[in-house]
Amino acid sequence: MLPLFVFLLLGILQLGLMHQARLMTKYSAYKAVRAGSLHHADVGKMRSAALAVLLPLVSEDRGGGEYIKSVTSASDFSAKWKWDGVKTNKMPEARLPYVDVTICGPLSGDLRPSDKDEVNFDDPDWSVAYGEWKKSELTKLRIQVTFNYRMPIPFANQVIHAASRNRDLPSVLRMSDPKTRRPVKNDVYNQLAEDGLYILPIRATYTMRMQSNLFPGIKPLPKSNACVFAF
C-alpha cells in the first residue's frame, strides 16, 4: 500500500501543476497568435511571446532535481530570461525547445499565384475564387503552441509519464494485462525518460484574424498542416 499512498499524495501535486501548465499554455497560445497577427506571422516573435508567458514554469536541472525559479517581479523576469536555456529556447540536456510554435494555417497552397510577394488581407478581392466561408478562414492565422513541460515531482513524474506515454509501470501500479498493452512508441520523450528526464508536450491552439500582411517570399508559409490537432 505504501507506493500507492505515496503516489496518491505526490500525484495530486503533480497533476495540479500540470493543470496550471495547461492553462498557461492556452494563454501563451493567445499571446503568440496576437504577436503573429501584428507581425506578419513571424514565428520567432510568436515563440518569444509564448515563452515570456510560460517563463514562470520553465525549470532546469540543479544537481539531480528540477529547479523552478519563481517570477514575482520585473527583476525576477529579467534574471530568468537571461538563463542560457531560455535565451536559446533549448534545454541543454534534452535537445528540445522549451516552447515551439507551429503555423496551422493559412498554408502556402491556399494563396493565389499573384500573392507570392505580399498578401493584403484587407483587399476585398483576395481569394475571390473561394466561397465566403473559405475566404474568411484564409484571413485568419491559426497556430499551435507546444510547451515541453518538465515534470518536477519525484516518483509521480515517472508514473504519470509512463502511463501517458504507454510505458511499463512498476508491477505494484499496473492495472492491465501486460499481454494486451500496446507497443511503446520510441520517440524522443521516451528516450529522455530512459535517462530520468520526464517531459510531456502540452499543446494549445488559437486563431486570430491577421492584422498585418503576409510576405510569403520573406517568411514562407508551411506547405501542409503539421499541427497535432487539426482545425
Query: What would the pLDDT profile of 139-176 be if each residue is shown by its tens digit?
Result: 889 999 999 999 998 888 888 888 887 666 555 455 45
For 173, list phi and psi in degrees, rounded to 5: -105, 0
**Mean pLDDT calculated for residue range 5-13:** 84
CB atoms inside a 10 Å sphere around CB 5: 9
- For residue 12, give the amino acid letter: I
3-state secondary structure 100-128: EEEEEECCHHHCCHHHCCCECCCCCCCCC
- R_g over Cα of the chain: 21
Distance CA 4, CA 159 (A): 11
CB atoms inside a 10 Å sphere around CB 163: 13
Of all residues in the chain, what percent carry a pLDDT higher than 90?
39
* pTM, entire model: 0.84
Structure-block grid coordinates of residue 34: 496576437
Structure-block grid coordinates of residue 119: 498578401
pLDDT tens digits for 28-53? 999 999 999 999 999 999 999 999 99
pLDDT at site 49: 96
Q: What's the DSSP call for residue 214?
A: B
